[in-house]
């Protein structure tokens, strides 16, 4: 089925000037960008986005990193988009990410891991709504 998923190019990848390289991976995988913007998250925005991780030991470092510089947030649409996006991202820890994946090629570490992708349809809907209003989504008609 055609799905939508939420995606972040994280501060490490923006800093390395890899926005376009990562968008190319999305396009090569058949995922279409239907909304996108650059943001520099506040602490409150980052804490809210990652609220499900608030009790994890890495939460403080995660929020600090995600507010350390600008990010790109985007909505991707395509066949089986949630899993297709996660496949091209590779494992959360780049040391475990398969060759040719975004994290294998662009990530520094499990903390500075280049990109985020929603882990389910339900997460995707929540994450898209956290950053985009419905009017900001531009579904492709051609």
3-state secondary structure of 35: strand
Instruction: Determine if 62 is a binding residue for ligand CMP (CB under 6 A).
Output: yes
Separation of alpha carbons 65 and 84, rounded Å:
26
Residues 115, 7 contacting (CB under 8 angstroms): yes
DSSP 70: -
Name which of 34 and 115 has its Cβ closer to ligand CMP: 115
CB under 8 A, 24+ apart: contacts of 20-23:
21/106, 22/102, 22/106, 22/114, 22/115, 23/74
Q: Tell me the binding residues for ATP.
A: 10, 58, 86, 92, 103, 113
Name which of 78 and 94 has its Cβ closer to ligand CMP: 94
For this structure, is 85 an active site residue? no
State both tokens at 18. Answer: 């890899």
Instruction: Determine if 110 is a binding residue for ligand CMP (CB under 6 A).
Output: yes
* Interactions with ligand CMP, residue window 73-102 (CB under 6 A): 92
Choices 16-24, 27-35, 73-81, 109-117 (CB under 6 A): range interacting with ligand CMP: 109-117
Which residue in 113, 124, 131, 132 binds ligand CMP (CB under 6 A)? 113
3-state secondary structure of 83: helix
State the catalytic residues: 116
Q: Contact residues for ligand CMP (CB under 6 A)? A: 53, 58, 62, 92, 110-111, 113, 116
């Amino acid at each position: 089925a055609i799905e939508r998923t939420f995606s972040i190019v994280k501060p490490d990848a923006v800093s390395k000037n890899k926005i376009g390289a990562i968008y190319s991976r999305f396009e090569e995988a058949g995922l279409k960008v239907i909304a996108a913007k650059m943001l520099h998250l506040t602490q409150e925005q980052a804490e809210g986005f990652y609220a499900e991780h608030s009790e994890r030991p890495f939460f403080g470092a995660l929020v600090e990193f995600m507010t350390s510089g600008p990010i790109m947030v985007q909505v991707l649409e395509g066949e089986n988009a949630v899993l297709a996006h996660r496949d091209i991202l590779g494992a959360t820890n780049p040391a475990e990410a398969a060759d040719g994946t975004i994290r294998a090629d662009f990530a520094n570490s499990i903390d500075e891991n280049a990109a985020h992708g929603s882990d389910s349809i339900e997460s995707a809907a929540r994450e898209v709504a956290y950053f985009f209003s419905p009017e900001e989504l531009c579904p492709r008609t051609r």
